[in-house]
Structure 1
Amino acid sequence: MRKILLVIDMQNDFIDAALGSREAEAIVDAVKEKIRSYPAENVIATMDTHGENYMDTQEGRNLPVMHCIRGTHGWQLQTDVAELLRHAKIYEKPSFGSMKLAEELKKLSEKEEIELELIGLCTDICVVSNALLLKAAMPEVKISVDAACCAGVTVEKHRAALETMRSCQIHIVND
C-alpha cells in the first residue's frame, strides 16, 4: 500500500499575511515534521492560485481579500515548507478543490493500492473541499486528515469542517 501525503495550500497568505492567523502559524512546525515523515516521492502539494482579476471572480466577490496572486510573496509556499516540497508535484488550483489532483489520484488508485492523508490550510475551505472531492472520486480509498496539521479560518470553523469530513467517512486523526 502506498501512502501519499497531500499538503494543501501552505502559502504565506494563509499563514502570516493577507488571510493568516495565529492558528495557521502554530501548525507550521507540525506540517514540516509530517512532510519529513513521508518519502519525498509520496508527497504532493497544492497552491491556491489567482490572477490580478481575482476581485472580479465569484470567489473574489464573496471573499474580497486579494490573496495568493500568482508571483507575489503571499502566493509562495512558506519558506521552510517550500524547501521540503522542492521535489514534490505541485498542483496550482484556481479555486478551493483541485479536480486535476482528484483525477490523477483516481488513475493512480486504479493501478495500485493507495491511502491518502491531507494536511494544510484552511481546514474549512480547501482541505475539506479536496478531501470531499477525493472521497467522491475514490470512495474505497482510505482518506485521513491530521487535525494537528490543519487550521481553519476560525477555531469553530476548523472543528465544524473536521465533523463534516468525519461524517463523510474521512478519518480524522490527532483531533
Structure 2
Amino acid sequence: MRKLLVVVDMQKDFVDGALGTKEAQAVVPAVVKKIGEYASEDIFVTRDTHQSDYMTTQEGKNLPVEHCIEGSAGWQIDAEVQKALDSKKDADKITYVNKPTFGSVDLAAKIKEIAAKEEISVELIGVCTDICVVSNALLIKANLPEINISVDASCCAGVTSDKHKAALETMSSCQIAIIE
C-alpha cells in the first residue's frame, strides 16, 4: 500500500509570522522528522495562497489579518520545513498545491486520481488543526470514504490548544484516525 503525506500550510505566517503561535513553532521539528519518513513522490505540500485584495474577501473580512500573500515572505514554507523538503532525494517530485481557502478541492482530486490506480492511505500534518488540517482531511474523506486517513496530532497545532483538541475530536468522529 502506498502511503501519502499531506503537509498542510507550514508557512512562515502560520509558524512565526502574522498568525504564528508558540504551538506551531513547537511542532516544526516533528514535521521535519515526519517528512523524512516519506518518499518525495508521496509528499503533498499545501500553501495558503492569498492575493493583494485579501482584505476585501470574505475570509479577509472575517479574519482581518493579512497573511500568506502569494510571493511574500510569509507565504513561503517555514525555512526548516523547506530545508527538509529540499534535502529529499528527488525533491522535484514533491507536489505543491496552492489553495485560496481552507480546504483544497484540487488536493482531494489529485489524491483521488492516485487512489483510482492503487491502494493508498493518507496522513495529514500541519497547521492549523482546527481550520486547514480539518478542512483538507474532511475533503479527502468525502472524496475517498474507504481509504485510511490519519492525522498525527504531534505534528499539528491549532489556533489554540482547545481548538486543536476539538478539531481532533471532530476528525475522529468522522473516522479519521488520530495518532497521538
Normalised by the shorter chain, which TM-score bucket?
A: over 0.9
Picking from 100, 106, 113, the partner of 1:100 is: 106
Picking from 123, 136, 147, the partner of 1:141 is: 147
Structure 1 equivalent of residue 44 of structure 2: 44
CA apart distance, 1:84: 2.3
* Contact 1:118–1:127 (8 Å) recurs in 2: yes
Structure 1 equivalent of residue 176 of structure 2: 170
User: Superposed, which structure 2 residues align to 1:1-175 within 5 Å?
Assistant: 1-86=1-86, 87=91, 88-174=94-180
CA distance in 1, matches of 2:11, 2:39: 22
Aligned amino acid, residue 161 of structure 1: A
Aligned amino acid, residue 58 of structure 1: Q
CA distance in 2, matches of 1:126, 1:85: 20
Aligned amino acid, residue 53 of structure 1: D
| % identical equivalent positions | 59
CA distance in 1, matches of 2:65, 2:85: 27
Aligned amino acid, residue 166 of structure 2: A
Give TM-score scaled by structure 2 length: 0.95
CA distance in 2, matches of 1:59, 1:127: 17
Which contiguous aligned blocks of 4+ residues in structure 1 show a shift greater than 3 angstroms?
none
CA distance in 1, matches of 2:111, 2:59: 26
Aligned amino acid, residue 108 of structure 2: A
CA distance in 1, matches of 2:129, 2:173: 15
String of CA shifts for 1:142-164, please: whole Å, max 9, x gaps.
00000000000000000000000
Q: Which runs of 5+ in 1 are unaligned?
A: none
* Contact 1:45–1:85 (8 Å) recurs in 2: no
CA distance in 1, matches of 2:121, 2:38: 13
Give TM-score scaled by structure 1 length: 0.98
CA distance in 2, matches of 1:84, 1:26: 16
Q: Which runs of 5+ in 2 are unaligned?
A: none
